[in-house]
Chains A and B, each alone.
Chain A
Amino acid sequence: MPPGLDNLKHIVVLMMENRSFDHMLGSLTAVDPRIDGITAQLSNPDTTGALVNPQPLAQFQGQLDPDPDHHFLAVDLQIFGGDTSTSRVANMQGFIKSYFNQQEDVGHSQKIMYYFAQNQLPVLTTLALEFAVFNRWFASIPGPTICNRAFAHYGTSFGQVDMDILYVNEPFKDIYDRLINANPKHTAKLYYYDTTSSTMEVANLLQNEPQLFGTYDQFLNDCSSGNLPDYSFIEPNYNDHDTDTGEAVASDQHPDHNIQAGELFIASVYNAIKQNASLWQSTALLVVYDEHGGIYDHVVPPACTPDQFTASANDTGTGQPFAFDRLGVRVPAILISPWIPKGSVVDGRIFDHASIPATITKFFLGDYSPRSPRETTADVFIEPNLAPIDPTRNLLSLAAMRTDCPDFDV
């Protein structure tokens, strides 16, 4: 068996907020053409009909205010460019039109095309170039946060496409429940930043199973003490607030929160794992964003296996029901492990957040049912450690662990 898989004992997922692939990592095409980011041919029309190219003018804060609309109806406009006909084809031409609808300011609406230069995001771009960056990781739904995050926990949103309270449909258990009730038992924890930021998984998990939760300080302690669970899901700080030790700036990178605070947070998670040598060699860290936040990306979201739920025309706002048969807009996703070859680019495979419970389940539990149709058909980003391993799919493929991985001065 590949030693990377043999050594793997912990999988950690850090899910950030509301930034598209092109916005965060699009600059890297200039560094490595295998990375499918920004090229000179890309554009979107503004409401005057002028074509606007993506430009490396994104700012850390204060630029995407108001928060770009990313509810289902707005994302439909972003993906289809405003074509509502039955024969329409997705073209990713409606981002400026969508942002214009919020302030009716042509100049401001063009900022939705801005992306970060590589040197503005030293953490995320370094991780992307050093480890495995996914060219085709999409949000699970062309919609907002709550329903997309549900796919990371349950492999489905139970028919929901919005931010309303999500109530679990019993047949599909969350990934934490599956692990802690398995035989043999596994360990799992959802770490929210602190009590004042809390979790987005309130309605089903926090109020029912608070023992599954920990704070970010506990994550740091669990890393240093070697007590990290088999599976960890980390949430960033969602709001600015005071703490006993000072000020906690929101680190989720949700517009209009500060991007650099999020960079520090990502680096902090990485360092916490890497600074424990035993943990570093036995852990894979996935950094991924929940959805694109209404910000431009050029890759058309593909069709996918329909879920067994349907959102009504009233819920979508488009006048049409939605069978969960198309993915959302592309987001940044990076898999980190010292067993991954430097400069890995995952191409030709499609992932979404249902890939998270799919991967965790297959790796730790093997066969498990019932799972949602979307999760059952989702690709996995870590191969189950069972013979035969397909070397073309296994990302933790090195015969010897790397010793040249970067450090961040956090």
Chain B
Amino acid sequence: MTLIHVPRPDLRSAMDPTRPVNALLKAQIRHLHDAENNLPLRHQTDIYINAIKTEGEAAEYIRQVTTAIHEAHEAAAALRKRGIAITAAAEKPARKTKSAGSGKKKNNKKNGPKT
């Protein structure tokens, strides 16, 4: 059996969170923003996506919205288990929903650009 050596990239030059956002990440941000707009207000971020310029900023926005999508679905699933109409639940304020079983505490760390 042959063992193939795989060279590691030089992290000092390969890693650059200040690199300008490429077209692919811009598209992903737009898609996530669209998804975010469909979330209940309490799960939405306050990040202004047009101000995202670097990969690091993009990464932070992507993390927050992906987490929020999962949390919103977990909250909806918890309500569904209790037999509560999802559409009605979506209109409830955040405080009530949390007590209704949304579970996880939302990480509100926001390093991305804001308005």
Q: Do A and B come from one complex?
A: yes
> With a CB–CB cut-off of 8 A, which chain A residues contact B23?
67, 144, 163
Contact B4–A123 (Cβ < 8 Å):
yes
Known contacts A240-B16, A258-B9; is A163 also within 8 Å of B3 by CB? no
Is the C-beta of A239 less than 8 angstroms from some C-beta in chain B?
A: yes
Q: How far is the CB of B59 from chain A (nearest CB, A)?
A: 4
Known contacts A197-B62, A260-B8, A407-B2; is A207 also within 8 Å of B38 by CB? yes
B14-34 residues at the A interface, CB under 8 angstroms: 14-17, 19, 22-28, 30-32, 34
> With a CB–CB cut-off of 8 A, which chain B residues contact A254?
22, 24
Is the C-beta of B40 less than 8 angstroms from some C-beta in chain A?
A: no
The complex places the Cα of A238 from the Cα of B63 at a distance, in Å, of 12
Is the C-beta of A314 less than 8 angstroms from some C-beta in chain B?
A: no
Contact B6–A408 (Cβ < 8 Å):
yes
Contact A261–B27 (Cβ < 8 Å):
no
Q: Is the interface of B mostly helix, strand, loop or mixed?
A: helix
Known contacts A247-B15, A260-B9; is A206 also within 8 Å of B25 by CB? no
Task: Specify the chain B residue showing the minimal Cβ separation from A251.
Answer: B9
Q: Interface size (B, Cβ < 8 Å)?
A: 42
The complex places the Cα of A211 from the Cα of B2 at a distance, in Å, of 39
CB-contact partner of B6 in A144, A256, A263, A403, under 8 A? A263
The complex places the Cα of A250 from the Cα of B15 at a distance, in Å, of 8
Contact B70–A405 (Cβ < 8 Å):
no
Known contacts A249-B15, A406-B3, A407-B4; is A261 also within 8 Å of B9 by CB? yes
Contact A247–B11 (Cβ < 8 Å):
yes
Is the C-beta of A264 less than 8 angstroms from some C-beta in chain B?
A: yes
CB-contact partner of B28 in A200, A405, A406, under 8 A? A200
Is the C-beta of B80 less than 8 angstroms from some C-beta in chain A?
A: no
CB-contact partner of A407 in B3, B11, B67, B70, under 8 A? B3
